[in-house]
A = this chain, B = another copy of it.
Amino acid sequence: MTELTNRQYFLASRPVGEPTPDNVACRDVPLAPPGEGEVTIRNLYISLDPAIRGWMSDAPNYIEPITLGDAVRSSVIGRVVASNSPDFAVGDVAMVMGGWEQYTTVPAGMLNKLDENAGIPLSLFLGVLGPTGLTAYFGLLEVGQPKAGETVLVSAAAGAVGSIVGQIAKMQGCRVVGMAGSEDKCRWLTEDLGFDAAINYRTCGDYRAAISEACPDGVDVYFDNVGGEILDAALACLNRYARVAVCGWISTYNESELPPLANLWQLVARSVTIRGFVILDYLDRFPEGIAQLAEWVMAGKLQFREDVVDGLDNVLPTFLRLFDGSNSGKLVIRIPE
């Protein structure tokens, strides 16, 4: 390997509220050869997800916060350019929890090898066949426990996770209502994905009234991606024994002051279960989840949108689009070979 530099976007300071360009800085460092048992990949795809905002904070979380000075953490897919492990050869493609950088070096055991000749576009393993799809699959089916005939409400429904949640809920025989931030997104939900109704939360006015109208029989399962005022409104519309599956609260990641949940009391009034989860809770069932998601994708039963942006240097502004709702579909940075 000739002498190479590794461009990295690293956490320079922890965000208070919404991340700003000041929180992430760029540097070029010499690329060291992989150590004993390690492998270096040249990144091809970097996944941008709301969860990254959580890891930027120095607060207890399901995995360690990103250390200041480290490359911002992301799931990545890359091609092996140097290997010090018998398990990987130069040219192999693999997925790993890496960073916002050109090259990622990790112990071989952390890499998941992917078959680039299987006819599946690689980026799908970061989305519908990866963490995104698995979040929807286990969150809806295991945490939400939807039954045929029940009403499922999904926030951020046109997002990468929400759009899959809604389609799986339809396959379970549920009435599905999505909330999204534009008329275009709402139309996509009802006309293309088969949602029974969609609420444009930017124009609907009173959230609670809008949810009640779209869910005349009440809400049995609420898949919550956003928290805050929409969660509070949804709490007021729940049926007895309703389940709230919480995979993230993008509306409050950036709030230092959280809004009170005036309707959290409905928990007791309606015997509601609110359960937080991360896909790591279902690690031993990933093969089952991926196989089922792949079957649905191949059969055309599961549609998905990717929002692919070229160039590592676009990583920060692209990440920030998650917080203004301007992305449509799973956000991925591509670094062409």
Contact = CB atoms under 8 A, between A and B. Distances in A.
Copies of this chain in its oligomeric complex: 2
A60 B268 CA distance: 10
A60 B62 CA distance: 35
Contacts of A241: 281
Contact of A248 (B59, B236, B268): B268
Contact of A60 (B59, B236, B275): B236
A276 B281 contact: no
Given A246-B267, A268-B276, A260 B262 contact: no
Contact of A271 (B262, B270, B277): B277
Q: Which label, helix, strand, loop or mixed, suits the secondary structure of the A interface?
A: loop
- Residue from A236, A249, A270, A276 whose CB has the most chain B CB atoms within 10 Å: A276
A265 interface: yes
Contact of A276 (B249, B261, B262, B267): B267
Interface residues of A, number: 35
A259 B246 CA distance: 21
A278 B271 CA distance: 7
A271 B61 CA distance: 10
A61 B271 CA distance: 10
A252 interface: yes
A249 B265 contact: yes
Contact of A59 (B257, B258, B260, B265): B265
Contact of A274 (B62, B274, B281): B274
Interface in A50-93: 54, 59-62
A274 B265 contact: no
A54 B269 CA distance: 9
Contacts of A278: 268, 271
Contacts of A249: 265, 268
B277 A62 contact: no
Contacts of A276: 266-273
A312 interface: no
Given A60-B236, A260-B258, A246 B268 contact: yes
A247 interface: yes
Interface in A262-314: 262, 264-278, 281
A247 B261 contact: no
Interface string A189-222: 0000000000000000000000000000000000
Contacts of A265: 59, 249, 252
A246 B241 CA distance: 14
A269 to B, nearest CB: 5
29 contacts: A54-B269, A59-B265, A59-B269, A60-B236, A60-B270, A62-B268, A62-B270, A241-B281, A248-B268, A249-B265, A249-B268, A252-B265, A258-B261, A258-B262, A260-B260, A261-B264, A266-B276, A267-B274, A267-B275, A267-B276, A269-B276, A270-B276, A271-B275, A271-B276, A271-B278, A271-B281, A272-B275, A273-B274, A274-B275
Given A60-B270, A258-B262, A273-B276, 4 more contacts: A62-B268, A241-B281, A271-B277, A271-B278
The 5 closest A-B pairs by CB, nearest first: A267-B276, A268-B276, A258-B260, A273-B275, A260-B260
